[in-house]
């Protein structure tokens, strides 16, 4: 009984420390964006009232924005707003930034999810095989893929893909999510066109959407595949050199059982962590990919806002991307803790 209580207390204290460290990281993240917003050479009041406003109007808006308060109070207002999903209004179209982000986010989610699926489906087996057949031609191919993936500018590879598969071969749809005459046909439910068209049971739109997403998703998939292959390979090599594998072989298990039933089973946890991290890094890759493919996601939203000095939108997008990044990192830590009995 006492032992149980002790174990419970241990878990509780661990949970509290984890929670505090997460909270501090998030707070720091908001502090960075807050400071960036403060030192911007753009006057937020002027951006709202315009240059011809009277001093009284200017002051009124100045006070309304809370700029007369001490900086710490301003920061707490900022946190309060962000916690309520309020990133201010876009200076460009005067709509709330949070609405804009909610509108563009599904496009990024759809792209990144398809990308990571491709990366996992191709990368994991490739990594396992290249570890099992170390030095074989498959291993060399895997090494080459990883090396190229780490060295090639993603936006350039995207352009080349467009040139070859769209411009010359005409196998895929061009930039954008749909051909123009398919737009606004199906009702928006999730914002992800592939899912929406399945719900609406519209095969024509689905096929068209697929022809548009396949190239950018393969591009992102290639980069996550490069990473996942390399990590899977090194995890597998570590397992295959352990003694229990030798034992399993001596017992006469088939090679397939040794590799998939024993070694691979033991790297699943590490693999999940890698996949979560890779998913997070796709957010970064999607910024440039979205620009190349005119994909209306959060990456192109932030970049467009940046080029038109729409600071609320830039900071809102940065905070959202940062928070997702942190959450995925924490998630992978938690999964590791749950699935790996050694870490308990």
Residue 96 phi, psi dihedral angles, 5° rounding: -60, 135
Q: Does position 83 bind another protein by CB under 8 A?
A: no
Among the listed residues 60, 152, 195, 335, the single contact to another protein using CB under 8 A: 152
Measured from the Cβ of residue 249, the count of other Cβ atoms closer than 10 Å reads: 14
Classify burial at 130, counting beta carbons within 10 Å of its beta carbon; exposed 0-12, middle 13-18, buried 19 or more. buried
Q: Which is nearer to another protein, 89 or 290 (CB)?
A: 290
Among the listed residues 130, 279, 302, 332, the single contact to another protein using CB under 8 A: 302
Measured from the Cβ of residue 288, the count of other Cβ atoms closer than 10 Å reads: 19
CA distances from 338 to 5, 261, 334 (A): 20, 21, 6
Q: Which stretch binds another protein (CB under 8 A): 47-55, 93-101, 192-200, 322-330?
A: 322-330
- Of how many residues is the chain composed? 344
> How many residues contact another protein, by CB under 8 A?
51
> 239-246 contacts: CB < 8 A, separation 24 or more?
239/263, 239/264, 239/266, 239/267, 240/131, 240/132
DSSP per residue over 157-188, as a string? HHHHHIIIIIIIS--S--SSSS-GGGTT-SPP
Q: Which stretch binds another protein (CB under 8 A): 77-85, 100-108, 204-212, 316-324?
A: 316-324
**From the centroid of its chain, how far is CA 285?**
8
Q: Which is nearer to another protein, 44 or 186 (CB)?
A: 44
The C-alpha atoms of residue 228 and residue 283 are separated, in whole angstroms, by: 16
Query: Which residues lie across from 20 on neighbouring strands?
Result: none
Q: Which stretch binds another protein (CB under 8 A): 79-87, 192-200, 262-270, 311-319?
A: 311-319
Please choose, from the candidates 286, 292, 287, the residue with its C-alpha nearest in 3D space to the C-alpha of residue 175.
292
Q: Which is nearer to another protein, 186 or 225 (CB)?
A: 225
Q: Does position 80 bind another protein by CB under 8 A?
A: no
CA distances from 311 to 66, 91, 305, 316, 318 (A): 17, 8, 7, 8, 10
Q: Which stretch binds another protein (CB under 8 A): 32-40, 89-97, 113-121, 122-130?
A: 32-40
Among the listed residues 3, 70, 153, 341, the single contact to another protein using CB under 8 A: 153
Measured from the Cβ of residue 316, the count of other Cβ atoms closer than 10 Å reads: 28
Q: Per-residue contact track with another protein, 186 to 225, x per CB under 8 A?
A: ----------------------------------------
- Helix axes 298-307 and 311-339, enclosed angle (nearest 10): 150
Q: Which stretch binds another protein (CB under 8 A): 62-70, 200-208, 244-252, 279-287?
A: 279-287
Among the listed residues 87, 227, 287, 332, the single contact to another protein using CB under 8 A: 287
Task: In angstroms, give the least distance from the CB of 170 to another protein.
Answer: 11
> Which residues in the 225-244 window bind another protein by CB under 8 A?
233-234, 237
Q: Which stretch binds another protein (CB under 8 A): 73-81, 244-252, 259-267, 280-288?
A: 280-288
- The residues that touch another protein, with contacts defined as CB under 8 A, are 24-25, 28-29, 31-33, 36, 39-41, 147-148, 150-157, 159-160, 162-163, 167, 233-234, 237, 280-281, 283-284, 287-288, 291-292, 302-303, 306-307, 309, 311, 314-315, 318, 321-322, 325-326, 329
């Amino acid at each position: 009984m006492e032992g149980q209580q002790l174990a419970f207390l241990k878990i509780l204290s661990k949970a509290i420390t984890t929670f505090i460290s997460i909270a501090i990281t998030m707070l720091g993240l908001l502090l960075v964006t807050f400071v960036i917003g403060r030192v911007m050479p753009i006057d937020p009041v002027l951006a709202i009232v315009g240059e011809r406003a009277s001093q009284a109007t200017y002051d009124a808006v100045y006070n309304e924005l809370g700029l007369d308060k001490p900086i710490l109070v301003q920061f707490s207002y900022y946190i309060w707003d962000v916690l309520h999903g309020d990133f201010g209004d876009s200076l460009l179209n005067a709509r709330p930034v949070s609405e804009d982000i909610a509108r563009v986010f599904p496009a990024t989610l759809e792209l990144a999810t398809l990308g990571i699926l491709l990366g996992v489906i191709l990368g994991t087996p490739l990594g396992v095989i290249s570890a099992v057949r170390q030095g074989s031609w498959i291993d060399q191919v895997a090494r080459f893929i990883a090396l190229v993936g780490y060295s090639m500018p993603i936006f350039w590879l995207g352009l080349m893909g467009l040139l070859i598969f769209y411009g010359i071969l005409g196998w895929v749809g061009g930039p954008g999510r749909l051909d123009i005459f398919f737009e606004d046909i199906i009702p928006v439910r999730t914002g992800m066109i592939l899912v929406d068209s399945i719900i609406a049971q519209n095969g024509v739109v689905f096929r068209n959407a697929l022809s548009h997403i396949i190239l950018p998703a393969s591009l992102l998939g290639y980069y996550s595949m490069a990473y996942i292959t390399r990590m899977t390979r090194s995890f597998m090599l570590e397992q295959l050199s352990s003694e229990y594998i030798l034992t399993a072989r001596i017992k006469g298990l088939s090679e397939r059982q040794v590799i998939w039933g024993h070694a691979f089973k033991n790297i699943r946890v590490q693999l999940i962590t890698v996949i979560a991290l890779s998913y997070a890094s796709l957010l970064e890759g999607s910024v440039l990919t979205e620009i190349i493919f005119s994909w209306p996601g959060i990456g192109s939203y932030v970049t467009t806002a940046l080029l038109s000095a729409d600071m609320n939108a830039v900071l809102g997008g940065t905070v959202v991307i940062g928070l997702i990044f942190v959450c995925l990192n924490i998630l992978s830590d938690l999964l590791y803790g749950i699935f790996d009995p050694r870490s308990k």
